[in-house]
Structure 1
Amino acid sequence: MENPSQPIKNHYENSESNKSKHLEESWSDADKLKKKTMKVSITEGSFGVLSNTLSDNYIIPFALSIGSSPFQVGILYSCGGLLSPIGQIIASRRIEKNSRKTILLQGIIGQACIWPLFLLIAILFMHNLLLNFLSWILIGLYLIYMLNSGIMTPPWFSVMGDVVPEDFRGRYFAKRNLITTGIALLGTLLFSFSLDWYQDQQQVMIGFIIIFLIGLITRVISAFLFTKHYYPPFNFQPFDQITLVKFFHELPKENFGKFTMFVALVTFGQWIAGPFFAVYMLQELNFNYSIFIFVNLFASIVALFFFPLLGKLSDRFGNVQLLRIGAIIVPILPLMWIFVLTPFDIILGPQLLGGIGWTAFNLAASNFIYDNIPSERRGECLALYNLLLGCGIVLGGLTGSIIITFVPITFMNKFHFLFLISGVVRVISVIIFLPKIKEVRITETKPIFNLKNTSIYRWIYDLTLREPRKKRRLK
């Protein structure tokens, strides 16, 4: 930004002093705008996350209410995870010719346009129109919704990386997540009780219509607040582009590549069972909507109390240390679901630990990207990173859908079998990849947790990696 100019008659007098003062004022103005954007981002995030929470938490109950099968639910949730990174790749390529603000607003407006169409599906169902096609129409609309979600992600991620100071990111995003998650929790609990009431009145579609209207309104407000952000100057250099082939070729060699493979494999394991926890609670355990939503949100409630602590740990000890905390907890979560049947047991078991584990894991993963990728490459690297995660989501979701639909499982509950497979995949990914990921930011050297010192690491490492080498030597 430019500052008020000095009078012309003084322009050539004290020129060095004027340049120094101009530079100082410019930096001061930029810092003020960044600080203002950080505050506005928290307000925007409160509306945006409420809109996203409504779609994430209610899209599966809505799909089941209009007669979608478990296989269609798996397609709905998993394919959405692939369309989002495809949108991110599109956005990252467009940054060369379009401003980050333009791309971000196009994505968020595209999301807002889908909400009325969700509402239309509910109205068609109420009037018994196109009943055999509504589930597939919903899947198609949700995929477009997720594509637009992906389009807005790289420019937002890039802008916030330029706005938030490096040594303050852990605490800032912990604070932002604390506030936005708290607001989303209160809103979602209110809507769940409302939806339950409408279900008791045999008018559940009216409840979904209200939810979709709220989703539309909050997304429009979020879009308006994005126009109030400060977008720092961004000079795109064509030689900074990373091709898909080069990215995959460098994966096993680079620290960020090993991190990407690790998170992608954990995501694959997560999504083998991920889309079916909702189906399991609603159809197998027969939870009503209020209990279902409260169980889902309890992990977020736990996260509210741990965001500040984990943010400070991230800034002090580094993101890899925080990643290890999450990586120890995440693999055991689906295994716990095999042994819990009541809402109380689920809340005090996998949801309580999940609130801690996933909060640590996701906060560390997000900040790790900021630390490892320079600003000019952040958008496209994030897109390629999420593309790999999207592949894990789709492959995991399809694997789970095929198993639960076509594989005859008689020796145990079919949902429990999915949870078992999910846990095993997560354990293997943690053991193989996590010890290879290095911290790049200067932090305190004392580790919070050293995975290699655990007996479980040594046992699984011998079982999965060392034994085949011994056998080859004997041959």
Structure 2
Amino acid sequence: MSTDVVCLAEHDSPEQNGEDKLRVRKDLRCSVGDGAAFGMMVGLGETYLPAFVLAIGLGELIAGLIGSVPLVVGGLLQMVSPRAVRWLGSHKRWVVMCAAVQACMFLPLIAAACRGSINTGTVLLIASIYWGASLATGPAWNTWIGTLVPVRVRPRFFAARTRISQACVFCGFLVSGLLLQWASQRDFVLESFAILFGIAGLCRVVSVVMLACQSEPIPIPPKMQPHPYRRLFRELADGPGGRLLVFLVAVQAAVQISGPYFTPFMFKNLHHSYAEYVTLIAVAFLARILALPALGRLAHRMGAMRLLWLGAIGITPVSACWVFSQNFYWLLSTQIFSGVVWAAYELAFFLLFFESIPEEERTSLLTLFNLINTAAWVTGSLIGGAILYLMDTSFAGYLTLFALSSVARCGALWLLFRIPSMEVLSDTIGLRTIAVRPTGANLDAPVLPSMPDQVLEESPPPGPKETSAARTARAS
């Protein structure tokens, strides 16, 4: 990959002097290193937090809520990011500081695993700070990385960076699952969690170092000034982006009615081993990765809107499939299908939502999107948790959640009819995998500079109502 990065830097900058070339090469390499280390942290650490909560004895409801409720803290904290960036005078400083805080959150988890106990309030607080620091970096990092990567190499670079980061996520949770499976046969599980959290924390430290080594040629890009959220709300409400967002909220809430509770269901009701658990997660994640290139070509041929329909219809029956049978091989095939349709849904949604927005507003919109997305995520999980609690976390209670989630997803489909047909230029987008979930409904963040007209392009920004097709016509 390092050779590819060097070639990309040289290809884009024949007019640059030697220092500029060296800086670009170093920045691209460090960015790839950051993505790889971050991916390992996600695979080794965050993915197994619900399993750790179960292993340490906090119960099934907390195991479900630990991966959802703390997200709202991240959604709220990122709202102060623009002011923090202005106060620090640098996107880089804010990103590095938040990443360091996130790395530190593994220390109390290591201590708890070694001690063999932790109370519910403490683990929720740790997870909340972890997610607060994680999501707070997103908008600022998008702006910063857009000033580092030369425009002409962005599609290739971010595609390569995404693949490497996803591969590291995959390797991380695969290795973790094998270690936990080995440890479970030797009564060494909590100690193994301590080891995994320690390695995950070190990976985030490496990520922090890689971030700190990158330059910041434009601390506050003039085109990326914050936009009032009230105005963004009004503009969204008047356009197709608002209808897309309403659809997202409905789907996300429906999905999270059941989503957080698959992990406790697998361990406590199906009595899956760690090897079976990681296998089911791995096939869904791998199916997503392998399907994305083909889905990008499909979006190019048939349009992102049709792809969104396919994905939305496809994810509807996924949770209900767990009601029909709990046979491991049935679940394996369900997971493969789930990975593909979730990849289609996510790719189409991000393409339609963010490319329809003027490029100078995308970072502010990402902040708003994250807040609404996490709020929907938490709302759905609380509804599911309440139902599960009322049904005494019984086997029938879990099946009720899975069936209800599919019914709610089906109900959300009518919102798609209200969204007008939209054209987009892109058929791919860079992604950052922030969290991996059992059924493929992962938490991914778009890399905004991987889309057209982001940050430093010289053409004037389009007006708020201008479509991608209009931009193409204007450019010609």
TM-score bucket of the superposed structures, by smaller chain: 0.7 to 0.9
State the Cα distance separating 1:187 from its structure 2 match: 2.7
In 1, are the aligned partners of 2:352 and 2:424 still within 8 Å (CA)? no
Please give the alpha-carbon distance, in whole angstroms, between the structure 2 residues aligned to 1:96 and 1:196. 47
- The amino acid that maps onto 2:415 is I
State the Cα distance separating 1:382 from its structure 2 match: 0.7
Are 1:326 and 2:311 matched, yes or no?
yes
Partner of 1:389: 373
Partner of 1:430: 413
Are 1:290 and 2:275 matched, yes or no?
yes
- The amino acid that maps onto 2:107 is P
Partner of 1:117: 108
Gaps of 5+ in 2: 1-12, 428-476
- The amino acid that maps onto 2:407 is V
In 1, are the aligned partners of 2:244 and 2:353 still within 8 Å (CA)? no
State the Cα distance separating 1:72 from its structure 2 match: 2.0
Larger Rg: 1
Please give the alpha-carbon distance, in whole angstroms, between the structure 2 residues aligned to 1:418 and 1:258. 27
Please give the alpha-carbon distance, in whole angstroms, between the structure 2 residues aligned to 1:81 and 1:298. 25
Cα RMSD for the two superposed structures: 3.1
In 2, are the aligned partners of 1:170 and 1:314 still within 8 Å (CA)? no
Are 1:140 and 2:125 matched, yes or no?
yes
1:272-287 equivalent positions in 2, closer than 5 A: 272-287=257-272
State the Cα distance separating 1:155 from its structure 2 match: 1.4
In 2, are the aligned partners of 1:50 and 1:184 still within 8 Å (CA)? yes
**Structure 1 residues 173 and 434, CA gap change in structure 2 (3 angstroms):** farther
- The amino acid that maps onto 1:118 is L
Are 1:416 and 2:406 matched, yes or no?
no
**Structure 1 residues 430 and 161, CA gap change in structure 2 (3 angstroms):** farther
Please give the alpha-carbon distance, in whole angstroms, between the structure 1 residues aligned to 2:426 and 2:174. 39
Please give the alpha-carbon distance, in whole angstroms, between the structure 1 residues aligned to 2:120 and 2:268. 18
Partner of 2:454: none
Q: TM-score by structure 2 length? A: 0.78
1:339-418 equivalent positions in 2, closer than 5 A: 339-349=324-334, 351-407=335-391, 413-418=396-401
Partner of 1:54: 44
Cα deviations by residue, 1:20-61 (Å, 9 ceiling, x for unpaired): xxx983599878856764454333212101102233321001
Please give the alpha-carbon distance, in whole angstroms, between the structure 1 residues aligned to 2:298 and 2:149. 18
State the Cα distance separating 1:275 from its structure 2 match: 0.7
- The amino acid that maps onto 1:293 is V
1:294-305 equivalent positions in 2, closer than 5 A: 294-305=279-290
In 2, are the aligned partners of 1:122 and 1:209 still within 8 Å (CA)? yes
Cα deviations by residue, 1:100-159 (Å, 9 ceiling, x for unpaired): 11111111101011111110111222xxxxx4x523211110110000001111112223
State the Cα distance separating 1:164 from its structure 2 match: 5.8
State the Cα distance separating 1:192 from its structure 2 match: 1.0
Please give the alpha-carbon distance, in whole angstroms, between the structure 2 residues aligned to 1:396 and 1:146. 18
In 2, are the aligned partners of 1:314 and 1:322 still within 8 Å (CA)? yes
- The amino acid that maps onto 1:144 is I
Cα deviations by residue, 1:397-426 (Å, 9 ceiling, x for unpaired): 10000000025799x821111112211222
Cα deviations by residue, 1:272-313 (Å, 9 ceiling, x for unpaired): 111101011111111011111111121111123223223444
Please give the alpha-carbon distance, in whole angstroms, between the structure 2 residues aligned to 1:167 and 1:374. 19
Q: Partner of 1:341: helix, strand, or coil? A: coil
Partner of 1:259: 244
Please give the alpha-carbon distance, in whole angstroms, between the structure 1 residues aligned to 2:352 and 2:148. 16
1:181 pairs with one of 158, 162, 166: 166
Are 1:439 and 2:422 matched, yes or no?
yes
**Structure 1 residues 96 and 414, CA gap change in structure 2 (3 angstroms):** same
2:291 pairs with one of 306, 319, 344: 306
Please give the alpha-carbon distance, in whole angstroms, between the structure 2 residues aligned to 1:166 and 1:342. 49
Please give the alpha-carbon distance, in whole angstroms, between the structure 2 residues aligned to 1:104 and 1:301. 29
Please give the alpha-carbon distance, in whole angstroms, between the structure 1 residues aligned to 2:136 and 2:304. 26
Gaps of 5+ in 1: 1-22, 126-130, 445-475
State the Cα distance separating 1:65 from its structure 2 match: 1.1
**Structure 1 residues 138 and 348, CA gap change in structure 2 (3 angstroms):** same
Are 1:201 and 2:186 matched, yes or no?
yes
State the Cα distance separating 1:163 from its structure 2 match: 5.3
State the Cα distance separating 1:176 from its structure 2 match: 3.2
Aligned length: 414
In 2, are the aligned partners of 1:168 and 1:315 still within 8 Å (CA)? no
Are 1:76 and 2:66 matched, yes or no?
yes
**Structure 1 residues 272 and 38, CA gap change in structure 2 (3 angstroms):** farther
Please give the alpha-carbon distance, in whole angstroms, between the structure 1 residues aligned to 2:34 and 2:407. 38
Q: Which has the higher helix share?
A: 1
- The amino acid that maps onto 1:441 is V
Q: TM-score by structure 1 length? A: 0.78
